[in-house]
Amino acid sequence: MPQLHSSIPKTRLLTIAISSLCFTAGGHAQTLEEVIVTAQKRAESLQDVPISVSAMSGEKMSDAGIQSFTDMNHYVPSFSVTKDPIGDKINIRGIQSGNQAGFEQSVGTFVDGIYRGRGTQSRYSFLDVEAVEILRGPQGTLFGKNTIAGALNIRSAKPTDELAGQLSASYNIEFETTDLQGFISGPLSDSVRGRLFLMNREMDKGWVHNSFYNADVPVSDEKAGRLSLEIDLGENTTLRLKTEAADFTTVGQPWDILVAGGLSAFGISSAADYRISMGNLPRAPFTHFGANGEFQNDPNGVLDFGAAGHLDGDSNETAITLEHVTDQGTITAILGHSAYEFQRLLDADFGPTPSVRFDDSEDFDQKSFELRFASDTDGQFNYITGMFYQEQDLTVDGLSYFNFGTLQPLLNGGCAGAVGAAYPALFVSGDALTTASNVAGAVGAAGGAGAALASACGQAAAFEPLVNAGINGGNRYALLDQSTESWAVFFQGTYEISDSTRLTLGLRYTEEEKSASQSVRAAAFEEGGTTALTNPLLIGAIETVGEFSTHSFTPSDPGMSRDEESLTWSANFQWDVNNDTMVYASASTGFKAGGFNSFYMALGQPDNSQDASFEEEEVISFEVGSKMTLLDGAAELNLALFRTEFDDLQASIFTGGTTFVVQNAAKAVTQGLEIDGRWALTDQLNMQAAFAYIDFEYENFPNQACTAAQFSSARQAAYEAALNAGSTLGAAAAALTYTNGSCAAAGLNDLQGKTSENTPELQFSMGLSHTQSLGDNFELLSNLNVSWTDDVFRQADLDPVSLQESYWKVDANITLASADGRWDVSLIGNNLTDEDTLSYVNDTPLFNGTHQAALEQPRSFTIRGRWHL
């Protein structure tokens, strides 16, 4: 895959970035517009808030064409969002949650005070927003719920006092995407105001060509709407009602094969070239694998769902907010209900062979209530106190289909081709261990490929009796049914020591109880097949290829119930050096609750329920910073130096086969520098820029999953050690049973002293916005944003093949608008330099040495028109 190499040394880039953010004295232009945030549950100027926070208004986001979390990657320092097969990964300062359904996000998302802690739950958080605030570092007092790395505080647009409305229609030329959205807002009576927002977005052409289906993927269809009411119950009491719903469907995924590995036998090359041959159609049998039978494909169409991937789901949320203002302060009560469900279908072998399919679904329901009191700010001491309660119910299942009719001839043909004429004498149908032992004795080390060959031959022998008996495959069904109940009380007080100094202390006590049922079983090879099997030979074969032991755990089993208590605190000292400069120093703690591995396989230990759970994470963070207003209000410059220490980081470790292991694996430290600023260069031209330096280092992480090369080497070493000891049977056992879990347990990929995935060391962005009057009737508005991202790994095991080298991204738009603000027409360009970049890389199941990758969007242009009431 072609990569962009930065020609600018990092030290030179650092100088450029800081220079562009440091403003010198001289003439000044207009005063910058004040940015109001609610990061501390009060409306405050961004420059007065003593924490590292970035904010963007809904108007700015709309003008820039920002529609999702991932679009903000190039505008905010120390913040990134990447998409993977299961959900978005939100990363702040190097910390994120892995792709495991049992995890909640390390970065909490809050929309109008309602917690959205799961990737799919926060999918439509950017609908018709008033502002988005990104709070960096643990926010364990006022937010508290799993905000160990930071929080997104999102405010949706509120009903207006006067009639207002907007209709927007856009079309992305490259992706044939039609986006229609609009709102109507205004008074319904003297005491009631309302706002209705609707959106329909259809993408008919993706950016990766799937030659198997002759389709450009992904394609998608999304619909969403929100109704908000604001009711004055009295002079000092307001009731806000909000309900929203969304429905989404995506067909296909932007996958490509980064390294072909075992898929090279099918003519697939190692090049991320926006083309893939990935599908499960029941085609005519192959015969070129020879030896013992034909490649039977998928004769009954069990793996065929008409695409390489399919996601279908919906979500809804309702919130009731009551606000009452008294002489002493403001009482706020928020009652919320949030729910979603989805089903995803995936061609899990990522190639043209109908070998493996994976279906998963989630059904989630959340109820919450928050009550808080914010005192007035007139006196020397002010405070916020309150309580929070939440219930969550989550059901997650995963159905894996293994097509023996494909896998057996594929393994058998590869084995026969390597062993040659002696193969029939070595092959013992139905006996994997004996066959592998015979092959080990015949081929020995085989130039470093003996273990892989013995394993393939043994598995082919195990599957053959089933295929000959007409049993073409089997399913693995995993289920997690989890309930969570949590409550917290919190207090934060600010004492004005003097006119220029303030001390803020915060405390939050949280209790969280979780219980779950978790099970895995072998099931019939049929569409949606979850019925448990009774044939021990078939169960054993499915357990072998699916890396599991049949089990069923309930809340009464050890480890399947959790009761956690946490006391988190924060301390912040703030000093107004003068009217234009504020400095602060803070320390804070946070925690992220433990949970249960939704795909715990209990391999070799079906009675060990305690390993199905994982413990909570803990963090302590230190930060010093400054917020400065310069040039008589024409510029702002904000800086933050931070150090954050994590204990018991929750890690999801891929086995290299078909599942993940979850453990509390690591201690880590992330530290660095963030700078961001704005400058009104003239009355018409504004500049904003941001820079981040992140030094992330695992202090202890001995058991990360091995890379594909490490696994192959380790398995071969165990195999050869047994051969050297004179035991072909031991060599066969090593070849058949050595997994990436074994490799990880041996500590062969110790990440001590290394960084984490999705964490570039340096990031820089700069944007310019210009407004120009064209006579009395028109305005021309233009925006340019340039960003640079340092080298970054896109796989948790830091496999060198997953390294995304540094790259630039350029986005721009130009808008012609009427002077009275009634209409505008825009041309929006994204990734104008057409950079080829990856957002995700992983090992391909069952094809060791193969890596699939998700490609980010290439260059595209969107035409948009808006009409304003």
What is the predicted pLDDT for the residue at 656? Answer: 57
- Mean pLDDT, residues 563-578 taken together: 94
Side chain identity at 327, as an amino acid letter?
Answer: D
Q: In this structure, what DSSP letter does residue 822 have?
A: S
- pLDDT for 816 beyond 90: yes
Quote the mean pLDDT of the chain: 88
Q: Say how far apart CA 274 and CA 276 lie, in whole Å.
A: 7
With a cut of 80, say whether residue 684 has pLDDT above it: yes
- Domain boundaries defined on the chain: 10-406+474-868
Confidence of residue 12 (pLDDT cuts 50, 70, 90): low
The secondary structure of residue 124, as a DSSP letter, is T
Residue closest to 450 by CA, chosen among 439, 458, 461, 459: 439
Q: How many residues does the chain have?
A: 869
Contact between residue 104 and residue 89 where contact means Cβ atoms under 8 Å apart? no
The b-or-e profile of 119-158 (16+ CB within 10 A means b, else e) is bbbbbbbbbbbebbbbbbbbbbbbbbbbbbbbbbbbbbbb
The sign of the CA dihedral 596, 597, 599, 600 is negative
CA angle 693, 696, 701 (to 5 degrees): 170
Rounded distance, CA 411 to CA 613, Å?
35
462 three-class SS: helix
Task: Pick the range with the lowest mean pLDDT from 155-159, 294-298, 503-507, 823-827.
Answer: 294-298
- pLDDT grade for 655, boundaries at 50, 70 and 90: low
Per-residue tokens: 489: 């009380």
Give the tokens for residue 844: 């391909």
Identify whether the C-beta of residue 294 lies closer than 8 Å to the C-beta of residue 287: yes
Buried b (16+ CB within 10 A) or exposed e, 191-206: eebbbbbbbebebebb
What is the phi-psi region of residue 470: left when phi exceeds 0, alpha when psi lies from -120 to 50, beta otherwise? left
pLDDT at 10: 60
What is the rounded (10 degree) CA torsion for 168, 169, 171, 176? Answer: 120
pLDDT in tens, 724-763: 999 999 999 999 988 887 888 898 999 999 999 899 999 9
Query: Looking at residue 200, what is its pLDDT?
Result: 97
417-453 pLDDT, tens digit per residue, is 888 888 899 999 989 999 999 999 999 999 999 999 9
Find which of 33-37, 99-103, 729-733 is predicted with most confidence, using mean pLDDT: 729-733
Classify 25 in phi/psi space as left (phi over 0), alpha (psi -120 to 50) or beta.
Answer: beta
Residue ranges of E strands in 610-725? 613-614, 617-630, 635-654, 660-680, 685-700
What tokens does 593 get?
């609750």
β strands within 701-777, DSSP E: 762-774
DSSP symbols for 196-208: EEEEEEEE---SE
Do residues 783 and 769 make contact, with C-beta atoms less than 8 angstroms apart?
yes
The confidence score (pLDDT) of residue 251 equals: 92
At 62 the pLDDT is 81
- Residue 483 contacts by C-beta under 8 Å, 6 or more apart in sequence? 391, 392, 393, 394, 514, 515, 516
Residue 605: in which H helix or E strand, if any?
A: none
Rounded CA separation 601/519 (Å):
8
Res 659: pLDDT: 67
Question: What's the CA angle centered on 798, arms 452 and 752, to 5 degrees?
Answer: 110
CB 440 within 8 A of CB 727: no
Tokens of 617: 């994470």
What confidence score (pLDDT) does residue 56 get? 85
- 409, containing H or E segment: helix 404-419
- Report the C-alpha dihedral over residues 346, 348, 349, 355, rounded to 10 degrees: -80
Decide: 675 and 1 in contact? Cβ < 8 Å: no
Say how far apart CA 214 and CA 207 lie, in whole Å.
13
Q: How confident is the model at residue 98 (pLDDT cuts 50, 70, 90)?
A: low
DSSP letter assigned to residue 450: H
Looking up tokens 């290299």 gives 656
CA-based radius of gyration for the chain: 29
Query: Tokens 């790395």 correspond to what residue?
Result: 149
The three-state secondary structure class of 305 is coil
Render pLDDT for 624-636 as a digit per residue (tens, 0 to 9): 999 999 999 899 9
Q: How far apart are CA 403 and CA 822, in angstroms?
A: 60
Q: Which CATH class is domain 10-406+474-868?
A: mainly beta
* Amino acid, res. 182: G
**CA nearest 465: which of 522, 404, 416, 516?**
404
CA 352 from chain center: how many Å?
27
Q: Quote the pLDDT of residue 76.
A: 82
- For residue 809, pLDDT over 50 is answered with yes
Distance between CA atoms of residues 178 and 172, nearest Å: 7
Residue 352 DSSP symbol: S
Q: Kindly report whether the peptide bond that precedes residue 77 is cis, defined as omega within 30 degrees of 0.
A: no
**What is the pLDDT at residue 840?**
87
- Say what the pLDDT of residue 170 is: 96
**C-alpha–C-alpha distance, residues 784 and 765, integer Å:** 11
pLDDT of 293 strictly over 50: no
Q: Is 577 exposed, middle or buried (0-12, 13-18, 19+ CB in 10 A)?
A: exposed
Q: Which of 283, 282, 303, 310 is nearest to 217 (CA)?
A: 310
pLDDT at residue 3 is higher than 50: no
Q: Is 527 helix (H, G, I), strand (E, B) or coil?
A: coil
For the beta carbon of residue 1, count every other beta carbon within 10 angstroms: 18
- Which amino acid belongs to residue 641? L
DSSP designation for 631: G
pLDDT at 54 over 70: yes
Which pLDDT belongs to residue 60? 81
d(Cα 382, Cα 376) in Å, to the nearest integer? 6
Look at residue 362 in the predicted model and tell me its pLDDT: 93
Query: In 522-561, which residue ranges form alpha helices assigned H by DSSP?
Result: 536-546
* Strand blocks (E) in 252-328: 255-259, 275-276, 309-325
Cis peptide before 218 (omega within 30 of 0): yes
Mean of pLDDT values over 136-156: 85
Per DSSP, 686 falls in state E
Phi, then psi, of 43 in degrees rounded to 5? -75, 115
Phi, psi (rounded to 5 degrees) for 122: -95, 15
Paired tokens of 644: 């954050």
Distance CA 27, CA 740 (A): 63
Asked if residue 27 has pLDDT above 50, the reply is: no
User: Kind and range of the H or E element at 733?
Assistant: helix 728-737
User: HSE of 458 in the Cβ direction (CA atoms, 13 Å)?
Assistant: 26
The sign one gets for the Cα dihedral 549, 551, 556, 560 is positive
8 Å CB contact between 740 and 732: no
Residue 591 to residue 566: CA distance in whole angstroms = 7
3-state class (DSSP) for residue 303: coil
Q: List % helix, strand, coil for the chain (3-state, nearest 5).
A: 15, 50, 35
The share of the chain scoring above pLDDT 90, in percent, equals 58
